[in-house]
Structure formats: C-alpha cells, structure tokens
C-alpha cells in the first residue's frame, strides 16, 4: 500500500475584517416548535440550489425524527419522512441531484436496563428516495453498526462510512476500523473498501468522482487526525494533510479547499481559537487567511463552513458567529442574525450548527431551533451593547455600545422584565426608556431596586437601519440600598496556568468592607473538604500552591466581616509543575463534545494515562454542587459515553470521572 506525506508549506497573507460595509439581512424561515438536532450529527441540512433544501428535524415531544423539504427557498416546508420514534438515529444526509435524497443513520433494538440506563443493539440503516420523497427505500446493513457519514457526488454515485459498535451483551466486538461503502447505483449494490490502516475512524468524506475521494481519519488509539485521498477507488492511498486539530476541510474541487483548524491562543494556551486556511494546489501548500476574534468571548470558534464558489465563502460557529468573504478570503465581513424578536436569536450560547451556501446570493443557517435564510437585502451592521455587569446599582448607570460605520444615530430601548424574569419580545411594547441619540452612550435615569431589565439598541442611517441588538443586555438592580457588591478577581486570570510555589490572589476593593474570605478547592463546588479557607482585611493574599496531583482548581472570594456578607465571586485556575522548563499543556483528558450542547453530550476518556483505579462512574454536577446525573460503571470498558442532557436547565455543569473534572455548557 503506497503511503507518503505531502509537505505542507504554510503561506501567511494579510487579511482584514471588513466592518464598514453593509451586510446581508438574514430572516427566519422555519420557527416551528420542532427541535433541530444537536451538531454531534455530521450533517443536518443540505441544499441543491437556492430554492431546494432538506433538513433533519425532531419533534419536541420526542415522537421521532422528521426530514423536511422545501422547494421554494424556505417559504414552505413539507415533511417527507417521519420515523415512528427515537428508535432511529438520523446522523447525516445528502441531496446530490434533483429528486434524490439520502438519509444515513442507525436503528436501535432494546436489550436491557441497568441502573436507570437503557442499552440497545444498533444497526446501520439508509433511507433513499429518487422521487423527491414520495417513496422511500429502506436499506438495513449488518447489526452492531452505524453510519454517520455519507457524501454523494451525483444522483447515484457516492460513499458512506460504516462503523462497528458493541452492545451491553457483546462489548467484546472487535473494532478493526471503519469501512467505506462505495456505490454507483444508489446503494442497490455496494463495494466495500477497507482503509489502508487498521482501526481508522472516519470523520468526513468528500467524493469527487467514481475513483477520487478524500476522507478525514483518526486512529482509535491516537489523537492525531489526517486527511487521506485515493485516485483509484481505494487501491492506494496518499496522505493529503496532517490535521491534528482540523474540524473540516471544505472542497471546491480537487485543487481548491478551505480548512478550519482549532488552535491554542498564544495569549492563553488553555483557550482555543480558529484558523481558516486555503489551498489552491491540492493541499501541497496552505495559505493562512483569518482568525475570528471577539473580546467578549473566550471561546469563539468556527464549527461549520460552506462555499458557493472559490470566492464566496461563509464560516459560522459559536455565539451566533457568521463571517462572509466575497474575495476568496482576503477580507471577511461579520453577518448579523436577527436578535431580539420573534424568530430571533436571544441566548448567549446559541451556536450556528450548520451553514449551507449553495449559490452566491442564497445561504441557510441553523441556529438553535431556528433556520435562517440570507437575503439579498442589505442593512447596517448591528451595534453591540457593552456588558457592564449582571447585578448593578440602579443609580447613574452608564450604557454604551460599539460604533457602526454609516450610522447617523442610535435608538436605545429599556424595558422591565416580566415577573418570572423570562425574556419576551413583548416587554418592549411598554419600554421605560425609548430614546434616539447621536453618540455611543447614555446615562440611564434612576431605576427601581430589585428589578430586572432588558435593553436593546439599533443603528440608524440615511433611510436604512440595523437589526436590534439585545445580547448581554439583561441586568438586575440591587435588592436594596444595603446590598453589598461582590469583589471581583483581578489576579490570577481566569483559566491561567500557575507555575509558582505560591499564588497571589488579588481582587477589587468593596466600599466599607472590613474583611474578605477566600476559599480554594479542587472541586467546582465547595460542599466537601475545603483546601484553603482564609480571611484577610486586605484585597490580596498569598498562599502556598496546592498539590500538583490535580489540574483544575477553583477559588472564590466574598466580603464577610460578620455583619456584611456579599455573594461569592468565582475563579478557575490550573497548575503546572514549577520545576519544568517548558509549560506543558496537560489536559484533564476528559473530552466533551459538543460543547456547548443542547440534547446530548459524548464524553471520551483519555486513551492513555487513565488508570482503572480511577473508575468509570460518571457524575454531573451543577454549580451548586448537586449531582444531577449519576451513571454507574457498566464494566464494558468503553472510553465513550453518550449522555442525554436535554432535561437539564440551561447553565454550566461539571463532569466528574474519578479525580478528573471537565466543564460544559447546556444550551
């Protein structure tokens, strides 16, 4: 088997973020009560052109999966396939030609229940239709298998990847790697194509023609991913690109592609960002194009990309991020999704789960439970309200926002939240303040104590306006005039890796505070044994660095002098061996995907360095230290656990396995 590595030459070119241009207006085209699936699924939307698209959807009442089809650009949707229940998993789809649909996944047969957990035997399945969903063919493959990836190059030609999985009664099923299923007749017949190395797992497929395709693979015992390609239908394989942190490569043709890589921030190696690169010579060299940044977010990564052609590309990801280039990646313009209205994006953790860009002037995006469409109508960029805190004094509040090129003035609205503090667009029907100003800040009139508010702002130009912006605008005032503001950590920085034998903690001063209390623990909650509990009259303290046996540590500080007690302020930090020459990046080893997540998370234990004595019991805690999910050890030895979190309230949670802890966000 021929196998060699192509040298990758990275070329850096200057790119810009275009902020002074008008942006496309996006509108909600599907705001039904159904629940778009989480982005663990490899592909939940595909479009043949600007008008024809299909998507995978699920019913909020958990009655099964839907495949929806629109032939009029999202104006109307028709359910063309509906499963009886969640016995089926629909993981990926392809819409390669007129009237031709392919839906891949698996079906589950119930086996048993142990400690409130149900176990199933899974069998790979494929739904195919060649008449726009009027009739469906149901293809069932070998048991103990699933299909997560499929790509069709034309109406009948394509490749799917089938994976072997075990079950509760047969956990010893030997996994020798994924197998490719090649077809040129719509899977009426298949040719099995083994991968060049044993135990390779497939993470993406791109088929160009009957003999040429590229796949993203990772060896099950290693963490390094790479792209490999074949020009003779799997007879020989060539390493296309090393991809240790690559999320996806989007191909225009066999020579031109865009690559999305996660990389550690130079300023803080515990945080991640995205690098967008491009190749025009089939992967021999890559041009570094763009890294999206937003000072408000520590995690601002791209999770999806789609190309209308070489010049017109959309990237999208966490925190409702969408950027567009029309010049092949030289400049990027941030797009604005509707925010704050019916069919708008209101939550801070909304992520663009998938984006499809079939034609230059038409694109679709799935965000939360809503599908949006990019229109050719242009409007101003949206101003961003600057966050000034969640709990604030109601007196002399200064509100400001970012400048928008082309704006002549700004309209600001403030409204009281409802009694249950749930956001509704209707609160702005009766605002307590509605004003238009020509500068970038205002001083609010004196507000009520013990009251929550919502605010929003928009830019106004000559005959044109931006969408409203409400994100980060929810705040509440102090309970009364005696409320004590919590101190805020100044040092160390959140997420900082400590490399000293002592740690200096510094926090802001609180007026009239005579004593502060600082606690440190190796758990995200503080109900068990506390590692340190110190009091001081100063706004700083130096304590010995805790044991290096644990990576994650948690600190909190508050005012506590017996008479005045404030809320706690929290901080997370990590430790490094102070004797080491280099600052090694040592993760806890627990991987959680997706993160943030809505319905399910998959927890992966490290393939190396995880001792059996640590156990395999999984506990999930909320920020109050309450155990909300407890999954006892099954003894199966599996490194992966898929957990339903759909019933949990939105917020921050901590996964605990043995002595290891990892955080995730429930959307």
Cα torsion angle, 285, 287, 288, 289, sign: negative
Q: Are 205 and 217 in contact (CB under 8 A)?
A: no
User: What would the pLDDT profile of 640-664 be if each residue is shown by its tens digit?
Assistant: 677 877 667 666 677 877 666 777 7
The yes-or-no verdict on residue 540 having pLDDT over 80 is yes
Provide mean pLDDT across the span 35-61: 74
Residue 23, token pair as written in the block: 């942006």
Provide mean pLDDT across the span 93-111: 92
The pLDDT value recorded for residue 584 is 32
Domain boundaries, the chain: 9-379, 391-477, 489-575, 591-666
Radius of gyration of the chain (CA): 26
Residue 47, token pair as written in the block: 């479009």
Question: Is omega for the bond preceding 500 within 30 degrees of 0, making it cis?
Answer: no
The three-class DSSP label of residue 139 is strand
Can you give 164-177 as a three-state secondary structure string?
ECCECCECCCCCCC
User: What would the pLDDT profile of 475-504 be if each residue is shown by its tens digit?
Assistant: 888 888 878 878 888 888 766 777 777 889
Q: Are strands 660-666 and 627-631 parallel, antiparallel or unpaired?
A: unpaired
Residue 71, token pair as written in the block: 């032939």
User: What would the pLDDT profile of 251-299 be if each residue is shown by its tens digit?
Assistant: 999 999 999 998 888 877 767 889 999 999 988 889 999 999 876 677 7
Q: Are 551 and 513 in contact (CB under 8 A)?
A: no
Comparing CA positions, the residue from 83, 25, 19, 29 lying closest to residue 56 is 83
- Residues facing 540 on adjacent strands: 506
The pLDDT value recorded for residue 599 is 65
User: What would the pLDDT profile of 229-260 be if each residue is shown by its tens digit?
Assistant: 999 999 999 987 777 788 888 999 999 999 99
Cβ count within 10 A of residue 7: 6
Whole-number mean pLDDT of the chain? Answer: 80
The pLDDT value recorded for residue 11 is 41
The pLDDT value recorded for residue 211 is 96
Q: Rounded to 5 degrees, what angle do the CA atoms 622, 534, 489 make?
A: 60
Task: Write down the number of H helices and E strands in the chain.
Answer: 0, 53
Can you give 591-609 as a three-state secondary structure string?
EEECCCECCEEEEECCCCC
Residue 118, token pair as written in the block: 């149900």
Q: What is the CATH number of domain 391-477?
A: 2.60.40.10
pTM: 0.70
- 111 sits in the region (left: phi over 0; alpha: psi -120 to 50; else beta) called alpha
Q: Are strands 238-242 and 225-230 parallel, antiparallel or unpaired?
A: antiparallel
Provide mean pLDDT across the span 33-41: 47
What architecture is the 591-666 domain classified under in CATH? Sandwich (2.60)
What superfamily in CATH does domain 489-575 come from?
Immunoglobulins (2.60.40.10)
- Residues facing 602 on adjacent strands: 593, 642
**CA end-to-end distance (rounded Å), the chain:** 46
The three-class DSSP label of residue 392 is strand
The pLDDT value recorded for residue 534 is 92
The yes-or-no verdict on residue 507 having pLDDT over 80 is yes
Alpha carbons 327 and 313: distance in angstroms, whole number: 9
What superfamily in CATH does domain 9-379 come from?
YVTN repeat-like/Quinoprotein amine dehydrogenase (2.130.10.10)
Comparing CA positions, the residue from 191, 192, 163, 165 lying closest to residue 178 is 163
User: What would the pLDDT profile of 106-145 be if each residue is shown by its tens digit?
Assistant: 888 887 877 766 677 889 999 999 999 999 999 999 888 8
Confidence band for 388, pLDDT divided at 50, 70 and 90: low
The yes-or-no verdict on residue 579 having pLDDT over 60 is no
Q: 489-575: same fold as 391-477?
A: yes
> Nearest 10 degrees: CA dihedral of 31, 35, 38, 39?
-30
Alpha carbons 538 and 559: distance in angstroms, whole number: 11
Provide mean pLDDT across the span 596-616: 61
Among 1-10, 207-216, 360-369, the range scoring the smallest mean pLDDT is 1-10
Comparing CA positions, the residue from 161, 157, 152 lying closest to residue 94 is 152
Residue that wins the pLDDT comparison between 471 and 194: 194
Q: Are 638 and 166 in contact (CB under 8 A)?
A: yes
If 0-12 CB within 10 Å is exposed, 13-18 middle and 19+ buried, where does residue 462 land?
exposed
């Amino acid at each position: 088997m021929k196998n060699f590595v192509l040298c990758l030459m990275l070329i850096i070119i200057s790119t810009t973020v275009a902020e002074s241009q008008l942006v496309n207006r996006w509108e909600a085209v599907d705001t039904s009560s159904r629940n778009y699936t989480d982005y663990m699924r490899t592909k939940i939307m595909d479009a043949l052109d600007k008008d024809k698209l299909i998507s995978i959807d699920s019913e909020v009442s958990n009655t099964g999966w839907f495949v929806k089809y629109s032939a009029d650009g999202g104006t109307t949707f028709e359910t063309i396939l509906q499963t009886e229940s969640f016995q089926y998993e629909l993981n990926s789809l392809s819409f390669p030609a007129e009237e031709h649909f392919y839906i891949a996944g698996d079906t589950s047969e119930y086996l048993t229940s142990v400690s409130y957990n149900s176990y199933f035997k899974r069998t790979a399945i494929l739904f195919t239709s060649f008449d726009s969903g009027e009739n469906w063919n149901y293809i069932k493959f070998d048991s103990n298998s699933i299909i997560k990836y499929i790509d069709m190059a034309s109406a009948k030609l394509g490749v799917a990847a089938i994976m072997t999985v075990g079950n509760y009664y047969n956990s010893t099923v030997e996994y020798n790697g994924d197998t490719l299923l090649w077809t040129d007749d719509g899977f009426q017949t298949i040719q099995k194509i083994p991968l060049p190395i044993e135990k390779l797992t497939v993470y993406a497929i791109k088929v160009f023609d009957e003999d040429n395709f590229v796949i993203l693979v990772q060896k099950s015992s290693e963490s390094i991913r790479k792209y490999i390609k074949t020009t003779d239908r799997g007879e020989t394989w060539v390493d296309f690109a090393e991809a240790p942190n690559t999320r996806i490569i989007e191909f225009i043709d066999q020579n031109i592609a865009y690559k999305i890589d996660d990389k550690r921030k130079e300023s803080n190696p515990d945080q991640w960002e995205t690098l967008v690169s491009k190749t025009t010579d089939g992967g021999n060299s890559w041009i570094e194009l763009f890294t999206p940044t937003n000072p408000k977010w520590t995690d601002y990564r791209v999770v999806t990309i789609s190309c209308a052609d070489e010049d017109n590309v959309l990237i999208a990801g966490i925190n409702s991020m969408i950027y567009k280039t029309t010049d092949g990646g030289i400049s990027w313009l941030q797009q604005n999704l509707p925010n704050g209205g019916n069919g708008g994006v209101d939550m801070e953790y909304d992520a663009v789960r998938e984006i499809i860009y079939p034609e230059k002037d038409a694109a679709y995006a799935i965000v939360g439970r809503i599908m949006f469409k990019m229109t050719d109508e242009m409007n101003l960029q949206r101003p961003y309200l600057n966050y000034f805190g969640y709990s604030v004094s109601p007196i002399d509040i200064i509100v400001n926002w970012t400048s928008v090129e082309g704006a002549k003035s700004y309209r600001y609205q403030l409204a009281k939240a409802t009694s249950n503090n749930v956001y509704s667009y209707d609160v702005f029907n009766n605002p307590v303040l509605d004003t238009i100003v020509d500068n970038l800040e205002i001083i609010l009139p004196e507000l009520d104590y013990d009251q929550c508010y919502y605010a929003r702002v928009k830019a106004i130009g000559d005959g044109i306006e931006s969408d409203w912006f409400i994100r980060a605008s929810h705040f509440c005032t102090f309970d009364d005039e005696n409320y004590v503001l919590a101190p805020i950590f100044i040092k160390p920085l959140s997420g900082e890796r400590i490399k000293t034998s002592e740690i200096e903690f510094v926090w802001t001063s609180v007026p009239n505070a005579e004593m502060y209390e600082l606690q440190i623990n190796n758990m995200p909650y503080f109900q068990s044994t506390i590692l340190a509990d110190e009091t001081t009259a100063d706004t700083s303290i130096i304590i010995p660095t805790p044991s290096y046996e644990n990576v994650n540590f948690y600190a909190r500080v508050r005012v506590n002098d017996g008479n005045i007690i404030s809320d706690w302020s929290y901080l997370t930090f990590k430790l490094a061996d102070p004797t080491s020459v280099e600052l090694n990046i040592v993760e806890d080893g627990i991987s959680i995907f997706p993160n943030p997540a809505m319905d399910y998370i998959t927890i992966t234990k490290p393939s190396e360095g995880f001792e059996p004595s640590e156990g395999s019991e999984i506990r999930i805690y909320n920020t109050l230290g309450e155990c909300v999910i407890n999954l006892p050890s099954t003894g199966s030895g599996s490194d992966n656990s898929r957990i339903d979190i759909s019933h949990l309230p939105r917020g921050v949670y901590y996964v605990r396995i043995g002595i290891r802890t990892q955080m995730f966000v429930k959307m």
